[in-house]
Chain A
Amino acid sequence: MKPPLFDYVTPESVEEAVAARAAEEDSVLLAGGQSLLATLNFRIANPALLIDISRIAALKGIDVGAGEIIIRAMVRQREVELSDAVHGANPLLREVLQKVAHTVVRNRGTIAGSIAHADAAAELPAMLLATEGVVDVQGPGGTRVIEASDLFKFHLTTSLAGDEMITAVRIPNLAPNTGWSFKEFARRRGDYALAGICALVTLDDNGRCTKARLSACGIASTAVRLESAEAELAGSTLDENTIARAAKAARDCVTAADDSQASTAYRRHLVDTLTQRTVAVARDRALERRAA
C-alpha cells in the first residue's frame, strides 16, 4: 500500500493548474487527498503527475450572498460545516456535512473534491442535486457553468472534460417557506450511506407544496433526483398518505444491484422509510419557518 512514483507540482494560479493539466494527459488534481491518496496507495490510480491545487489563493474562501453561497474549490468541508453564515443561508449544508465521513477527514476534504470525485454513495452530490446548485469550471478554453443535473454521469464520473477543473461550487440559499432535511442510513457513523435522502419542500400560505426537491445517494450509479416522488408531493398538503405514496415512488428509483452490504429490496425499504421521514421533517420545518 505505497503509491507508485509520480511527479508533483504546486501551481499558484488556476491558469497554471489548467496548463499543467493540459500539458500532461496522465495527470490528476490533488485537493484534500481524502479519496485520491487511498486510490494511489491501493495503486488503483497510477498517474504520472499530481497537481496539488491547495496553494492556489484564488480557490480559497466562501462568499455568502443574497442569492447563493459560493464555495471555492479548496474550501474544506469542515469550514463550510462550521460557517454560521452558510448555515444561515442554507441550513441543509450543515445537516448533510455532519454525515460526511469523520471530523478529521472533513478537516482536509473539500466540497469540490467530493463533487468531482462523484462517488454514487457520497452525500454532497445529492445535496447539489436537491438544491439545484451549479459548479464553475475552468479549462484551457475558458470557463463554463455546469448545472448539477448535467454533472453526474456514472459512479466516479462527471461531465467535466479531462482538462477541466472545478473552481467553485455554488448553492442557492434556502428559498422562503422552505423546509429541509437530510437523513441517511450508514452501517457505521461516518461511513458512506447505504441510502440517503435529501428533501426540500416549499409551502404556500395554505400549506400546499409548491415545490419539492428530493434526491438520493447510494441507490444508483450516481446521486439521483427522485422526480417521480417529487411529482406526488407537488400540490398536496404533504399529508401522511401523500408522503407514503411519494415514498413508494421513490423506492422505484433504486437501481443499485444487490451488493454485500444491502440487497436491492432492502435498499428500496430504506428509501421508503427515509423519504417518509425526511419529507415529514422538511414539511414541519417549512411550517415553522412560515410561522416565524
Chain B
Amino acid sequence: MATAMFGERVQRLADAKLVRGEGRYIDDIPLEGALHVAFVRSPFARAKILSIDCDAAREMDGVAAVYTCDDLGRLDLEMPLLIPHPSLTEPRTQRPLAKGEVFHVGQTVAMVVAVDRYTAEDAIRMVDVDYEPLEVELDLEAAIQDDAPRVHADVANNVAAQFVQTVGDPDDAFARAEHITKIKVQVDRSTAAPLECRAIAARWDDITGELMVWDGTQAPISVRGGLASILGLDEDKVRVTAPDVGGGFGQKVLLFYPDELLVPFAAMQLGRPVKYIEDRNENFIGSSQERTQIHELELAATKDGEVLGLRDSFLHDTGAFIPYGIAIAQVASTSIAGPYRVPNIWVEFKAVYTPTVLVTPYRGCGRPQACFAIERAMDKLADELGLDRFEVRRRNLIRDEDFPYRRDGLVFADGLPLEHDSGQYGKALDMVLEHIGVDAFAAEQEAARAEGRYIGLGLGFYVEGTGLGPYEGSHIRIHPITGKVYVNTGLTCQGQGHETVFAQITADQLGVAVGDVIVVEGDTGVFDWGVATFASRAAVVSGNAIHKTALKVREQVLEAAANMLEAAKEDIVLEDGKAFVNGVPDMAVTLAEVATASNPLRYAFNEAAKTSTQFAPAFNHDGPALGEGDAPGMEATDYYSPPHATWAYGVHAAIIEVDPGLCSVKFKRYICVHDCGRMINPTLVEGQIMGGVAQGVGGAHYERIEYDEDGNPRNANFMDFLMPYASEVPPVEILHLETPSPLNPLGVKGVGEAGCIPVGQVLVSGVADALKPLGIGPLEHVPLTPDMIFQALGGEKDE
C-alpha cells in the first residue's frame, strides 16, 4: 500500500504559481476596452438627499455614464435578506445606490463609469449632491434609549432583533448559587482587511446573450443565482467565476455589494466590459466589518467553583444594515458557555443599528466576543473564590465521557440543535499548561519581579462550531488523454490551499500523485451546485463531498480495470497512476488507459489510447457498447450534507511581558493546543492557525475601527488602523490533538477561524497576571491598548 496522502505535510500546490507572480486576480484579467468604475459615497452618517446633479460629470471627457438610483430600473431595490429569523422583526438591507437618504459614511450614492479609474475619480468630484445631515448616535448603549436618534426612521430604539435562548432552569441555578460573579466586557469593531480588496469585472456578450462575471467573491454560485434572478436572465446564461482571490475572511461573501450588481448591469447597458477594483479607502468605508459587542454576564457557582448557571445579555452592533440576519449574534450567544458544562443558560441579545458600514461575519463571527466574555468571567470567578483559574476551568470542562454533549434549547447558526460532538478538553488544558511550564512559571515570575520586570501567563479556551451545512458537492473525472484527475467543487479558495488538501483526499482513493490532481473551484461554468466558503466549512463539507465522489470513481476504475485485466475486482490495486493485479505489478493499465477504454469512441490521440485497445473492454457485457446504466468515462458527482456543525476547540496560552514604563506588551511565548479532528495536512492547518493568531493579535491589541461622534471614520487607512505587521506577531508553538469527528467520513473538523478566537483573552489575562503586584484595575475591553493599560494602572501619578 502506498503512503496515504491524507495527513501528510504536502507542500501547497498553488504556491509555485503565486510566489512567481503568476496568480491571476481580477485586475489581472485582460479585458480590452474595459471601462472603470468609481462611486460617489456619502460623506455623512445620516442625511437626507435633497438633490443629485450629475450633469457636469456626465459632460466630462472620458465619462461613459453616471448612474443614480433613478437610472437603475429594476435594480433600484432593497437587497435580499439572506437569512431571515423570527426574532428579526425589523430587517433593513442596503440598496445599490442610495434613495433619498443615506445611512453611513461611505454608502454608495452614485456610480461613475469612465475610461479609466483616474477619470472616474475626477468625475465623482463633479457630482453635486445636496445633503441635509441628520442627528446620529454612535454609542451602542445610548442608541437603544427611547430618545436616541434613529438609523432607520421607523425602527424604534434602533433594535433590529431581540432574541432569548434558554437551557435548563437558569433561575433555579441562580437561586441555588453560593457565589455569583458579574462582569461586563466589550469587544470593539475591526475589519478583515484582505490583502486584495474586493474586485469585480463583467462582460456582456450581445450575440450569445451571456453575461460573464469575474468576482472576487467567496460565493460565486449564490452571486450567479442572484444576478440571474435580478437581471432577469436564465441561470445558464450567467457565469460567475472567482479567480485567484487575495483573502476574504468573510468580507467577500456578502451578496450583494452594490458593485456586484451594478458592474454587470453597466456592462450590459454600455456594451463594454466594466471593472471595479475597490481601493483600500473604499474597503474601510464600504465593505463589511464586525465585532462590537457588549456583554453583561453572570455566573452562578458553588463555593468550589462549579458553574451552575450562566446569564448573559448582550448588545450586538449590526451597522446600518442586517443582510445576514442575526447570524453573528446567534453564533456568539450559542458559543457563550465555551467548553464548560454549564447546565443552565439564559442568553439574550439585541442586534442594534448604528449609522456605520454594515456588519457581516468576519473570521471568528461572534466567537471571539463570546470567548472573551466567558473566559474573562471564569478568571474573575476563580479570583473571587480564591481558587486557581486553571483548576476552576478543569472542574467545569465537558469531560470526555460527556460527549456528545447537547445544549438543549440552543439552536446554532445552522438552524440545528447544538451538540458538542467530540473532544478531549481536559487533555488539551493539561497539554498547554505542561508545555508552557506552568509549575516553573511562578518562580520565574517572582524572579522577574525582583528585577523589576513584569511577566504574566495568559490563557484562553475556545470552542468553535465548524463545517456548517447545508451541503457541498463535487465532480471528479479522470482525463482520458493524460490520466490526470480533475476535481471540481462549488466553493472557492482565497489562499487557504484548498487545491492541496482536496488533491490529497482524491489521490488516496485513486492512487495518483497529488500533483496529478487538478482542483478547479469557484466557477459556475464548471460546477454550479453548492454554497460558499465561510464558517470553517471547506474541508468538512467540500472535503467529504470530494471523498465520497472519489470513492465512486474508484469503484468505476476498479471495475473497468478488472474487466480490462481480466482479473477479480478485489485483486485490483490502484497506485502510481496505475491499476494492477495485486502481486503481479506487470499486469497493469494506466488510469489514462482505463479512462480511454471507458469511452466507446476512442480516437488514437496518444499512446494511452493505442495501448488501451490491447486490453479487454472496460465494460464487460454483450450488446451495445454502452450497456444500460453505463456511462462513458471515469467520472462521478456526489454531495455531502453534514448532520450538524462539528465542534473543534483549543487552548492558547502565552507568556507576556509588560513594561509599565511604556505600558507596552510583548508576547514572549505563544502556544496553541488545538483539535480539528483528523488533519488532512498539518502544514496547512498550522498556516491557518498562525494566520488566525495574527488576526487575533490585531483584535486583542491593535485594531479598532474608530468613528467620531458624527459617524465619520477616523482611521480608514493602514497608517491609523493598526493592523499588526509580521514584527508584532509572535511565533506560535503549535501542538496538535486529534479527536476524529464522528459526524463525517473523513473525521475532520474546521480550523479556518480557530486561531483568532481566544487571543484577546490570552493577552488580557496575561497582562492582568503580570501586573497584579501593581494593583492593576479590571481589564475587560479589547483591543487592550497601551493607554488602557496606563489608565488601569491608575493613570498619571505624581511620584
Q: Do A and B bind each other?
A: yes
Q: Is the CB of A263 within 8 A of B727?
A: no
**CB interface residues, A 63-115, toward B, < 8 Å:** none
Q: Is the CB of B663 within 8 A of A266?
A: yes
Would you call A269 an interface residue if the criterion is a C-beta within 8 Å of the partner chain's C-beta atoms?
Answer: yes
A269 touches which of B663, B706, B720 (Cβ 8 Å): B663
Q: Which of A152-160, A187-195, A282-290 contacts its partner?
A: A187-195
Would you call B229 an interface residue if the criterion is a C-beta within 8 Å of the partner chain's C-beta atoms?
Answer: no
A2 touches which of B117, B662, B702, B728 (Cβ 8 Å): B117
Would you call B408 an interface residue if the criterion is a C-beta within 8 Å of the partner chain's C-beta atoms?
Answer: no
Total number of residue pairs linking A and B with CB closer than 8 Å: 66
Q: Is the CB of B796 within 8 A of A269?
A: yes
Q: For B725, list chain A residues within 8 Å (CB).
A: 188-190
Q: For A3, list chain B residues within 8 Å (CB).
A: 118
Closest to B728 in A: A188
Roughly how many angstroms separate A189 CA and B233 CA in the complex, as a whole number? 52
With A188-B727, A260-B706, A261-B787 in contact, is A1–B720 under 8 Å at CB? no
Would you call B714 an interface residue if the criterion is a C-beta within 8 Å of the partner chain's C-beta atoms?
Answer: yes
Report B196 CB to chain A, min CB distance, Å.
Answer: 15
B702 touches which of A1, A187, A268, A276 (Cβ 8 Å): A187
Would you call B470 an interface residue if the criterion is a C-beta within 8 Å of the partner chain's C-beta atoms?
Answer: no
B715 touches which of A260, A269, A274 (Cβ 8 Å): A260
Would you call A273 an interface residue if the criterion is a C-beta within 8 Å of the partner chain's C-beta atoms?
Answer: yes
Q: Is the CB of B790 within 8 A of A265?
A: yes
Interface residues of chain A: helix, strand, loop or mixed (majority): loop
Would you call B91 an interface residue if the criterion is a C-beta within 8 Å of the partner chain's C-beta atoms?
Answer: no
With A2-B118, A188-B722 in contact, is A266–B787 under 8 Å at CB? yes
Report A254 CB to chain B, min CB distance, Å.
Answer: 11
Closest to A1 in B: B279
Roughly how many angstroms separate A128 CA and B714 CA in the complex, as a whole number? 31
Q: For A277, list chain B residues within 8 Å (CB).
A: 661
Report A240 CB to chain B, min CB distance, Å.
Answer: 13
Q: C-beta contact mask, B267-297 vs A, less than 8 Å → 1, else 0?
A: 0000000000001110000000000000000
Would you call B121 an interface residue if the criterion is a C-beta within 8 Å of the partner chain's C-beta atoms?
Answer: yes
Closest to A264 in B: B796
Would you call A166 an interface residue if the criterion is a C-beta within 8 Å of the partner chain's C-beta atoms?
Answer: no
Q: For A191, list chain B residues within 8 Å (CB).
A: 719, 722
Report A5 CB to chain B, min CB distance, Å.
Answer: 7
Q: Is the CB of B661 within 8 A of A187?
A: no
Report B685 CB to chain A, min CB distance, Å.
Answer: 28
Would you call A145 an interface residue if the criterion is a C-beta within 8 Å of the partner chain's C-beta atoms?
Answer: no
Roughly how many angstroms separate A194 CA and B725 CA in the complex, as a whole number? 17
Would you call B232 an interface residue if the criterion is a C-beta within 8 Å of the partner chain's C-beta atoms?
Answer: no
Would you call B51 an interface residue if the criterion is a C-beta within 8 Å of the partner chain's C-beta atoms?
Answer: no
Report A241 CB to chain B, min CB distance, Å.
Answer: 12
Q: Is the CB of A189 within 8 A of B714?
A: no
Q: Is the CB of B795 within 8 A of A265?
A: yes
Q: Is the CB of B714 within 8 A of A187?
A: no
Q: How large is the interface on B (under 10, 10 to 19, 20 to 34, 35 or more residues)?
A: 20 to 34
Closest to A244 in B: B799
Q: Is the CB of B790 within 8 A of A266?
A: yes
Q: Is the CB of A260 within 8 A of B728?
A: no
Q: Is the CB of B796 within 8 A of A189?
A: no
Closest to A251 in B: B796
**CB interface residues, A 217-269, toward B, < 8 Å:** 260-263, 265-266, 268-269
Report A114 CB to chain B, min CB distance, Å.
Answer: 15
Report B665 CB to chain A, min CB distance, Å.
Answer: 11
Q: Is the CB of B117 within 8 A of A268?
A: no
Report B701 CB to chain A, min CB distance, Å.
Answer: 9
Q: Is the CB of A187 within 8 A of B796?
A: no
Q: For B661, list chain A residues within 8 Å (CB).
A: 269, 273, 276-277
Q: For B722, list chain A residues within 8 Å (CB).
A: 187-188, 191
Would you call B600 an interface residue if the criterion is a C-beta within 8 Å of the partner chain's C-beta atoms?
Answer: no
Would you call B7 an interface residue if the criterion is a C-beta within 8 Å of the partner chain's C-beta atoms?
Answer: no
Roughly how many angstroms separate A2 CA and B279 CA in the complex, as a whole number? 9
A260 touches which of B279, B662, B720, B786 (Cβ 8 Å): B720
Would you call B710 an interface residue if the criterion is a C-beta within 8 Å of the partner chain's C-beta atoms?
Answer: no
Would you call B664 an interface residue if the criterion is a C-beta within 8 Å of the partner chain's C-beta atoms?
Answer: yes
Q: C-beta contact mask, A175-203 vs B, less than 8 Å → 1, else 0?
A: 00000000001011111101000000000
Roughly how many angstroms separate A5 CA and B123 CA in the complex, as a whole number? 12
Roughly how many angstroms separate A262 CA and B662 CA in the complex, as a whole number? 12
Q: C-beta contact mask, B692-705 vs A, less than 8 Å → 1, else 0?
A: 00000000001000
With A5-B118, A187-B702, A273-B662 in contact, is A262–B787 under 8 Å at CB? yes
Q: For B706, list chain A residues within 8 Å (CB).
A: 260
Q: Is the CB of A269 within 8 A of B281?
A: no
Q: For A192, list chain B residues within 8 Å (CB).
A: 719
Q: For B787, list chain A residues within 8 Å (CB).
A: 261-263, 266
Q: Which residue among A5, A185, A269 has the maximum number of chain B CB atoms within 10 Å of its CB? A: A269
Q: For B790, list chain A residues within 8 Å (CB).
A: 263, 265-266, 269
Would you call A42 an interface residue if the criterion is a C-beta within 8 Å of the partner chain's C-beta atoms?
Answer: yes
Would you call B738 an interface residue if the criterion is a C-beta within 8 Å of the partner chain's C-beta atoms?
Answer: no
Roughly how many angstroms separate A265 CA and B797 CA in the complex, as a whole number? 10
Report A214 CB to chain B, min CB distance, Å.
Answer: 17
Would you call B343 an interface residue if the criterion is a C-beta within 8 Å of the partner chain's C-beta atoms?
Answer: no
Roughly how many angstroms separate A265 CA and B727 CA in the complex, as a whole number? 27
**CB interface residues, B 184-205, toward A, < 8 Å:** none
Report B462 CB to chain A, min CB distance, Å.
Answer: 26
Q: Is the CB of A189 within 8 A of B281?
A: no
Q: C-beta contact mask, A1-35 vs B, less than 8 Å → 1, else 0?
A: 11111000000000000000000000000000000
Roughly how many angstroms separate A202 CA and B662 CA in the complex, as a whole number? 27
Report B276 CB to chain A, min CB distance, Å.
Answer: 13
Roughly how many angstroms separate A194 CA and B722 CA in the complex, as a whole number? 13
Roughly how many angstroms separate A3 CA and B118 CA in the complex, as a whole number? 7
B662 touches which of A188, A190, A265, A270 (Cβ 8 Å): A270
Q: Is the CB of A2 within 8 A of B796?
A: no
Q: List 9 A-B contacts (CB under 8 A).
A: A2-B121, A4-B118, A187-B702, A187-B786, A188-B727, A188-B728, A189-B728, A190-B727, A263-B787
Which 5 pairs, one residue from A and one from B, show the smallest C-beta to C-beta distance? A273-B661, A189-B727, A1-B279, A265-B796, A266-B787
Additional 6 contacts, C-beta under 8 A, given A262-B786, A268-B796: A2-B117, A189-B727, A261-B787, A265-B796, A269-B796, A273-B662
